[in-house]
A and B are shown apart, each in its own frame.
Chain A
Amino acid sequence: MSGGCSIRAIWILNSLDSVVFSRRFPVVEKRWQAACKSENENASEESFSYAVYSLLPADSELASAFVERKQREGSARGFGIRVSQSSKGSDSWVDDPITRHIVGLYINKGEEGENNLLWPLILHIKDDSLSSLLLDLPSITGAFMVAHAIGDIISADVTEPEVVVSASPSVGGLLDSLTGSIGISGISSRAKPVAAPVASSVPSNTAVAGAVAADAPKIGSRPLDKDALRTFISSSMPFGTPLDLSYSNIFTIKVNGFSSSDLPPPDLKQPAWKPYLYKGKQRMLFTVHETIHAAMYDRDEIPDNISVSGQINCRAELEGLPDVSFPLTGLNTAHVEGLSFHPCAQVPEHHADKQAVMFSPPLGNFVLMRYQATCSLGPPIKGFYQLSMVSEDKGAFLFKLHLMEGYKAPLTMEFCTVSMPFPRRRVVSFDGTPSIGTVSTTEHSVEWKIVTSGRGLSGRSIEATFPGTVTFAPWQTQRLSSSRSGFGIIADEDSDVETQNSNNVVNIEDFLMDKMSNDLPPADLEEPFCWQAYEYAKVSFKIVGASLSGMSIDPKAVSIYPAVKAPVDFSTQVTSGDYILWNTLGKCPSAAAEKA
Chain B
Amino acid sequence: MADMLPPALKPVSPQDWETLIDDFQYGGLRRHKWTSLSPVLLDLALSTILKRDFPLKLHLLLFLEEFSDSFFLEPIFLDRLLDSLRLVIQSPADGFHITLPLKDQFLVSTTSIFISLDIFNKFHIRYAESLVELLLIIVNRPNHGPDRQTRAVACECLRELERFYPCLLSDIAGHLWSLCQNERTHASQSYILLFTLVIHNIVALKSNVSVLNTSVPLVPFNVPQSLLAGGSSNSTNMGLNYKELRRAMAFLLESPQVLTPCGMVEFMAMITPVAISLELQPSMLKVQFFGMVSSYNPILCHVVLMLYLRFVDAFDGQESEIAHRLILMSREAQHYLVFRLLALHWLMGFNELISSGEVKKKKAMAVEMRLSFYPRVFDPLALKALKLDLLAFCSICIESLKSESALDAGKSVDKLFGDGLVSVSAFKWLPPGSTETAVAFRAFREFLIGGSSHSATDPSTIRTLLESTIFNTLQRMLVDMMLEYQRLVPVIVAFIDRLLGCQKHHWLGERLLQTFDENLIPKVKMDYKLVSCFPIFDRIAENNTIPPSRLLELLTKFMVFLVKKHGPDTGLKSWSQGSKVLGVCRTMLMHHHSSRLFCRLSRLLAFSCLYFPDLEVRDNARIYLRMLICIPGKKLRDMLNLGEQFLGISPSPHSSSFFNIQSPLTSHDLKKLRNVSSYVHLERVIPLLVRQSWSLSLSTFGVGNNKPDYLQGITDSESPGEEKDIDGSTDIQILETERIGQPQEPLRVMDSKISEILGTLRRHFSCIPDYRHMPGLKVKIFCTLRFESEPFNRVWGGVNSPASGVDGLDTLPAMYATVLNFSSSAPYGSIASYHIPFLLGEPPRNGYVSGESMPLDIVPVNSGPGEQKSFRAPVTIELEPREPTPGLLDVSIQTNSENGQIIRAQLHGISVGIEDMFLRAIAPPDTPVEAMPGYYSDLFTALWEACGTSSNTGRETFPLKGGKGIAAISGTRSVKLLEVTATSLIRATERYLAPFVVSVIGEPLVNIVKNSGIIRDVSWKDVASDSSPDASTSVSGFDGGPLHLTYFAGEDESESLVSTSKKTMGCFHILIFLPPRFHLLFQLEVCDISTLVQIRTDHWPCLAYIDDYLEALYLA
Residue positions of A touching B, CB distance < 8 A:
1-5, 19, 22-27, 29-31, 57-61, 79-84, 95-98, 100-101, 127-136, 138, 140-142, 144-145, 148, 197, 199, 202-203, 206, 227, 230-231, 234-239, 241-246, 253-254, 257-266, 268-275, 291, 293, 295, 305, 307, 309, 311, 337-343, 345-347, 349, 360, 367, 369-370, 372, 486-492, 494, 496-497, 500, 513, 517-520, 522-530, 533, 577-578, 587, 589-596
Complex contacts, B350 vs chain A, CB 8 Å: 135
B714 sits at the interface (CB 8 A) = no
**Chain A hits for B58, CB < 8 A:** 227, 230-231, 234
Q: Say if the beta carbon of B336 comes within 8 Å of chain A.
A: yes
Q: Does B713 contact A (CB under 8 A)?
A: no
Candidate in A497, A513, A595 with the most chain B CB atoms within 10 angstroms: A497
Q: How far is the CB of B59 from chain A (nearest CB, A)?
A: 7
**Contacting pair B269 A3 (CB below 8 A):** yes
B776 on the interface (CB 8 Å rule)? no
A523 touches B436 (CB 8 A): yes
Find chain A residues with CB under 8 A from B291 CB: 346-347, 349
Report chain B residues within 8 Å CB of A500: 527-529
Q: Separation in Å of the B221 CB from the closest CB of chain A?
A: 20
Are the CB atoms of B338 and A101 closer together than 8 Å?
yes
Residues of A contacting B183 in the complex (Cβ-Cβ under 8 angstroms): 269
**Cα A257 to Cα B186 with chains together (Å):** 12
> Are B200 and A81 interface neighbours, CB within 8 A?
no
**Nearest B residue (CB) for A276:** B186
Note all chain A residues with C-beta closer than 8 A to B419: 592
Chain A residues with Cβ below 8 Å from B104 are 234-235, 238
Total number of B residues with any Cβ neighbor in A under 8 Å: 150
CA of A579 to CA of B381, assembled, Å: 18
A520 engages B339 (CB within 8 Å): no
Q: Which of B116, B306, B380 contacts A26 (CB 8 A)?
A: B116
Q: A491-B431, A530-B435 are in contact. Are A136 and B302 (CB under 8 A)?
A: no
Name the distance in Å between B587's Cβ and chain A's nearest Cβ. 16
- Does B258 lie within 8 Å of A134, measured CB to CB? no
Tell me which residues across on chain B come within 8 A of A4, comparing CB atoms: 265-266, 269-270
Q: Which residues of B contact A60 (CB under 8 A)?
A: 26-28, 30
> Judging by beta carbons under 8 Å apart, are B430 and A242 in contact?
no
Q: A496 near B438 (CB under 8 angstroms)?
A: no
Contacts of B346 in A (CB 8 A): 131, 134-135
CB distance A272 to B296 under 8 Å?
no
CB pair A487 B435 closer than 8 Å: yes
The residue that A1 contacts in the complex, of B269, B292, B435, B487, with Cβ under 8 A, is B269
By the criterion CB–CB under 8 Å, are A129 and B434 in contact?
A: no
Q: Is there contact, CB below 8 Å, between B260 and A243?
A: yes
Option from A5, A26, A340 in Cβ contact (under 8 Å) with B115: A26
List 8 A-B pairs, minimum CB-CB distance, nearest first: A58-B27, A135-B349, A97-B382, A488-B433, A592-B419, A272-B189, A132-B349, A131-B348
9 other A-B residue contacts (CB within 8 Å) besides A141-B299, A260-B145, A592-B418: A239-B111, A258-B146, A262-B145, A340-B295, A494-B532, A496-B529, A500-B529, A524-B435, A528-B381
CB atoms of B431 and A519 under 8 A apart: yes
Q: How far is the CA of A246 from the CA of B333 in the complex (A)?
A: 21
Which residue numbers of B lie inside 8 Å of A, CB to CB? 25-28, 30-31, 58-59, 62, 65-66, 68-69, 95, 100-101, 104-105, 108, 111-113, 115-116, 143, 145-149, 153, 156-157, 160, 163-164, 183-190, 200, 255, 257-266, 268-270, 272-273, 290-292, 294-300, 302-303, 305-306, 309, 324-325, 328-329, 331-334, 336-339, 341-342, 345-350, 352-353, 371-372, 374-386, 418-420, 422-426, 429-439, 442, 453, 455, 486-487, 490-491, 494, 498, 527-529, 531-532, 535, 573, 576-577
Cβ–Cβ < 8 Å partners of A80 in chain B: 382
Asked if A259 and B145 sit within 8 Å, CB to CB, the answer is yes
CB-CB under 8 A from B378, the residues of chain A are 199, 293, 295, 528, 577-578
Give the docked Cα–Cα distance between A587 and B425 (Å): 11
Q: Is the CB of B531 within 8 A of A264?
A: no
A253 to B576, CA, bound (A): 75
The answer to whether A527 and B442 have CB atoms under 8 Å apart is: no
Nearest CB in chain B to that of A504: its residue = B529
Q: Kindly state the separation between the CA atoms of A147 and B338 in the bound complex, as whole angstroms.
A: 11
Q: Collect the chain A residues with CB atoms within 8 Å of residue B31's CB.
A: 58
A529 touches B436 (CB 8 A): yes
B-side contacts of A593, CB under 8 Å: 374
Q: Would you call B188 and A269 a contact (CB within 8 A)? A: yes
* Chain A interface mostly: loop
Q: Does A230 lie within 8 Å of B62, measured CB to CB?
A: yes
Q: In whole angstroms, what is the CA distance A389 to B371 when docked?
A: 38
Of B260, B324, B486, the contact of A338 (CB 8 Å cutoff): B324
Bound complex: CA A589 to CA B378 (Å):
9
Are A492 and B535 interface neighbours, CB within 8 A?
A: yes
Q: Which residues of B contact A145 (CB under 8 A)?
A: 261-262, 298-299
What chain A residues lie within 8 Å of B527 (beta carbons)?
500
The total number of A-B Cβ pairs within 8 Å is 436
Is B430 a contact partner of A129 (Cβ separation < 8 A)? no
User: Which residues of the partner chain A approach B105 to less than 8 Å between Cβ atoms?
Assistant: 234
Question: Assuming A133-B349, A530-B435, is B302 touching A148 (CB within 8 A)?
Answer: no
Whether B299 pairs with A5 at a CB distance below 8 angstroms is yes
* Separation of A416 and B262 alpha carbons in the complex (Å): 42
* Chain A, Cβ-Cβ closest to B143: A264
Q: A132-B353, A135-B346, A275-B186 are in contact. Are A254 and B257 (CB under 8 A)?
A: no
Residues of chain A within 8 A of B332, CB atoms compared: 309, 340, 370, 372
Min CB gap A352→B, angstroms: 14
Known: A4-B265, A57-B27. A592 touches B422 (CB 8 A): yes
Q: Is the CB of A3 within 8 A of B185?
A: no
Tell whether, in the assembled complex, residue A230 and residue B435 are in contact, meaning their CB atoms are under 8 Å apart: no
Q: Which of B422, B437, B455 contacts A127 (CB 8 A)?
A: B455
Residues of A within 8 A of B422 (CB): 590-592
B101 with A260: CB separation less than 8 A? no
CA distance A520 to B491 in the complex (A): 16
Q: Which of A24, A202, A254, A339 is in CB contact (< 8 Å) with B101?
A: A254
Residue from the list B259, B262, B342 in contact with A144, Cβ < 8 A: B342
A274 touching B186, Cβ below 8 Å: yes
Looking at B149, B433, B455, the one whose CB has the most chain A CB atoms below 10 A away is B433
Given A60-B27, A337-B331, A497-B486, decide whether A24 and B66 contact each other with a Cβ distance below 8 A. yes
CB-based contact A100/B532 at 8 Å: no
A129: nearest residue on chain B (CB-CB)? B352
Q: Contact at A272–B328, with CB atoms within 8 Å?
A: no
Contact between chains at A518 and B431 (CB < 8 Å): yes
Query: Which B residues touch A268, using CB under 8 A?
Result: 184
A to B CB contacts below 8 Å, 8 in the list: A23-B62, A234-B101, A271-B259, A343-B297, A525-B380, A527-B380, A530-B436, A591-B376
Q: Identify the closest chain A residue to B146 (Cβ).
A: A258
CB-nearest residue of chain A relative to B31? A58
- In contact, A496 and B377 (Cβ under 8 angstroms): no
A293–B190 Cα distance when bound, in Å, is 43
Residues of A within 8 A of B375 (CB): 591
Check A58–B453 contact: CB distance below 8 A.
no
* Cα distance A307–B294 in the bound complex, in angstroms: 21
**Residues B115 and A27 in contact, CB atoms below 8 Å apart:** yes
Q: Which residues of A contact B156 (CB under 8 A)?
A: 238-239, 243
Residues of B within 8 A of A589 (CB): 377, 423, 426
A234: nearest residue on chain B (CB-CB)?
A: B105
| Cβ–Cβ < 8 Å partners of B113 in chain A | 26
The complex places the Cα of A528 from the Cα of B7 at a distance, in Å, of 64
In the complex, what residue of chain B is closest to A513 when comparing beta carbons?
B429
Residues in B neighbouring A257, C-beta threshold 8 A = 95, 100, 146, 149
**Cβ–Cβ contact A82 & B498, under 8 A:** yes
Given contacts A135-B349, A269-B258, A523-B381, contact A489 B433 (CB under 8 A): yes
Cα distance A133–B265 in the bound complex, in angstroms: 18
Which single residue of chain A is at the shortest CB-CB distance from B529? Answer: A500
Candidates B108, B272, B381, B532; contact of A3 at CB < 8 Å: B272
> A79 vs B309: C-alpha distance in the bound complex, in angstroms?
32
Which residues of chain A are within 8 angstroms of B487 by Cβ–Cβ distance? Answer: 491, 497
